[in-house]
Amino acid sequence: MSLAQAYLILAAILLLSGWLVYSNAPILKSFRRDKFATIVLLIAAVAWFGFQLLHLPEPDLAGLPRDIVVYVFVAAGLLAYFTMPDFLSVRALGVLMLFTARQTLDAGYRQLPYSFLDASVSYAFLVIFGLWWAMSPVAFNKQCDWILEKPIRTKVLGVIFFITGLACLAQIKFIP
């Protein structure tokens, strides 16, 4: 992935987040326990993890064949839907945010000052909230409830996300 592609992905995430928050979209409340969102995000997170595990250079898997380890982890990830489905969509979103952060940070590695905005947004938004929400999806619920409680909060945070997304789009012009 190039740094320009990383900025496009960050811009898309931020613009979508800004629009959802600004418009006080009902999906922010229903997403938490939505079965379709859970299935889609879980499959995406497990597939991405399996792909990454398959393509690790020289992993130490205690002498086990790589294919068996991948199958076991993929099966365990998919079985999570049946064993702990509550708030699994939020956890899967957090995992996807962490995977996206890794890709964008890898794209910007050693490209300062062009990657400064990429690193700032990736660490501040994707890593911190991705870890927080994957670890404690109840925090996502409380944050959404707090933001959606007053219209001024939704407008201000939506505008902040939107402006940051536009800044990511504008940064693409300056990448050599």
Distance of alpha carbon 45 from alpha carbon 99, whole angstroms: 8
The token pair at 10 is 């960050």
Q: Cα 31 to chain center, whole Å?
A: 15
If pLDDT is split at 50, 70 and 90, which confidence band does 81 have?
confident
Range of the domain at 132: 3-174
If pLDDT is split at 50, 70 and 90, which confidence band does 8 have?
confident
Instruction: Determine the length of the chain.
Output: 176
Residue 140, helix vs strand vs coil: helix
If pLDDT is split at 50, 70 and 90, which confidence band does 55 have?
confident
| Structural domains of the chain, count | 1
For residue 105, give the nearest of 121, 128, 129 by alpha carbon.
121
120, amino acid identity: S
Q: How far is CA 105 from CA 50, 96, 99, 128, 173, in A?
A: 20, 14, 10, 14, 19
Q: What predicted TM-score, i.e. pTM, was given to this entire model?
A: 0.84
Q: Cα 137 to chain center, whole Å?
A: 13
Distance of alpha carbon 2 from alpha carbon 156, whole angstroms: 31
